[in-house]
Amino acid sequence: MLAHLLRRGGEAVVAWLLVSLLVFTLVGLMPGDPLDLQLAADPDLTAEDVERLKALYGLDRPLLARYGTWLADAVQGDWGFSRLYARPVAAVMAEPMLNTLLLMGLSLVVGLAIAVPLAVAAARRPGGPLDVGVNLLAFAGFSLPSFWLALLMILLFAVNLGWLPAGGVHAVGDPGLASRLAHLVLPVATLSVLTTGTYLRFARGALLEVVGEDFMRTARAKGLGPLQALVRHALPNALLPLVTIVALQLGTLLSGALAVEVVFAYRGMGKLTYDAILANDYNLAMAALLAATALTLAANILADLVYVQLDPRVRYDD
Amino acid sequence: MTTDALGSVRRTARGLTVASLAVLAAMAALAVAGPWLGEALGIDTTATNLLNRSQPPSLAHPFGTDALGRDYFVRVLEGGRVSLVVGLGGAVATGILGTLIGLVAGYAGGRVDALLMRLTDVVIALPILPLLLIVAAIDLSKLGLATGGGGDGGVLRLVVIVALFGWPSIARVARAQTLSVRRRTYVLAAEALGAGAGRVVRRHVLPNVAGPVLVAATLNIGNVILAESVLSFLGLGIQPPTPSWGNLLSDAQTTLAQAPHLAVIPGLAIFFTVIAFNVLGDGLQALLDRRR
């Protein structure tokens, strides 16, 4: 088990390093560079000044050397300075990180809370009207463009009905809990449609796999009602693959969160990444992307661990 | 599950699959016929009319007009053509790349397989959209590539980007299929008769891989269309004036309160297309499973 964990951890670190090199290269290929903006801001800068600034920032050095410097600083906790916010990257990222984790966590919980009971209800009569409806609902959920759903939510609940705020994390000058919660409702509702659809699909599939098993007939034979048999015997077996799916879908959830955050102007990691990319904020874009990558890689290892805890049949003895 | 219930599941599934095919056929026909239809209705697709901006749907303009007074019906059809081309092109490119990687991994086995599958695991776990944003934002001239891009608003570029990150799901399917036939007697016989790896893969492995890959690729089309729409919406996909469902929505965002129909219509088009491709893929999957 420990050996397995170490191996998975090692792989994740290697993967993260590869992604960081890739992202470092890509970020450098975005149009414009930090000097362009200084140049545009100050017409008195001469060609010699540009060369001097390039040397000062190390932009004249080869890519790999710059990456090495960045990595050495990064592992020591120095993620550089955000040009967009004129503050250290780590300080800029702290609050959006919490905002995003809150948004994703709530959507994940809401998604599971709706999907699992619905899947159980549908599995009582496979092929029945409820099952067909649930299946369509699942397809609808993950076929909706999340940013479009976000627009519709704003249109209906903010513009037409005026019940909820259209965007932001809290009202200007009112960072209280009530204001924050009101601003969370629409983003969470939007993202939850996506998570519900995805989880519903897999939960329904997993339940349909096990309802035909022998132990289900045994459960019924010993006198359990259909619902009891489903909840006590089918559900635990069906939840196992769901753990993996939830972890694997975290990257997708993060992507969905990005679009939703941008539409709702919700200051989370997704919006931060988007703004950083558009504003050529190299350091911030790098850090935000790599934090997201680290999160998904870690979630996959965590899913492995949870899986072992839940299923005594699974052993990693290598 | 009783055979009766199973039959019922199958019947509804078949009905849904047929319905989704009908939706897709209609979408494709409209997208192809779009410009011709505009001509027949006497609508100039490029004519702006500032006195007739953001009008709600009417008889003259069934989908209303956009913020520049252009007929929205034809704009949406043209956008659909671009979105469908990106969806299909992206799925084909993803399918080819994924199949190649899966075949190599499954057939070669050993270290090559282990390495490629680790790579697959990693790419699947990545937060795709932020990475797509960065890749979509890069300046190709910094790589010494031409930036001309033609007049397509970046269709080819999107197809390439989508394939770069979308191949793992296909590669997994292709590899699993390859492994399942790798030790079959007819494959071994072909090898014993001296057929090279290329020939064995082409003649004996690929035909077995094709079906499941086709299903996975169909399920992928919806994802590609969604990726196109979100990238274009964020301003990093298809560039105006070339319309796509995604960038139509991007424009509609600014006039959401005044002209909600501009935001509702392209979104519905995306939704119905994506759900149709997903249902179709699911139906094909069921068909394939039953044949085994």
Q: What is residue B292's predicted lDDT score, i.e. its pLDDT? A: 60
SS3 sequence of B59-82: CCCCCCECCCCCEHHHHHHHHHHH
Contact state of A143 with B234 under an 8 Å Cβ cutoff: no
Residues of chain B with pLDDT under 70: 1-10, 40-54, 59-61, 69, 141-153, 291-292
Report the residue of chain B nearest A201, measured CA to CA. Answer: B282
Give chain A positions within 8 Å (CB) of B124. 248, 251
Report the residue of chain A nearest B117, measured CA to CA. Answer: A11
Give chain A positions within 8 Å (CB) of B118. 11, 15
Q: What is the pLDDT of residues A109-153, one digit of tens each?
A: 999 999 999 998 888 888 788 888 898 899 999 899 999 999 999
Contact state of A289 with B134 under an 8 Å Cβ cutoff: yes
- Reported ipTM: the value is 0.84
Per-10-residue mean pLDDT, chain A, length 318: 83 87 83 69 76 76 83 84 85 89 93 92 83 89 92 87 79 76 88 92 86 83 84 83 82 86 90 88 87 86 80 66
Question: Which residue of B165, B230, B244 to mutate against A (max A Cβ within 10 Å)?
Answer: B230
Contact state of B129 with A263 under an 8 Å Cβ cutoff: no
Contact state of B128 with A251 under an 8 Å Cβ cutoff: yes
Contact state of B234 with A159 under an 8 Å Cβ cutoff: no
Q: What is residue B46's predicted lDDT score, i.e. its pLDDT? A: 67
A298 at interface of B, judged by CB pairs closer than 8 A = no
Chain A: give the shortest CA distance to residue B87, in Å.
14
Contact state of A31 with B137 under an 8 Å Cβ cutoff: yes
Q: What is residue B102's predicted lDDT score, i.e. its pLDDT? A: 93
Give chain A positions within 8 Å (CB) of B86. none
The CA-CA-CA angle for residues B284, B290, B292, to 5°, reads 110
A140 at interface of B, judged by CB pairs closer than 8 A = yes
Q: What is residue B230's predicted lDDT score, i.e. its pLDDT? A: 92
CA-to-CA distance for B63 and B43, rounded, in angstroms? 13
H/E run at residue A82? strand A81-82
Q: What is residue B263's predicted lDDT score, i.e. its pLDDT? A: 86
Q: What is residue A149's predicted lDDT score, i.e. its pLDDT? A: 93
Selected residues 178-207 of chain A with any CB under 8 Å from a CB in chain B:
none
Give chain B positions within 8 Å (CB) of A212. 1
Q: What is residue B175's predicted lDDT score, i.e. its pLDDT? A: 92
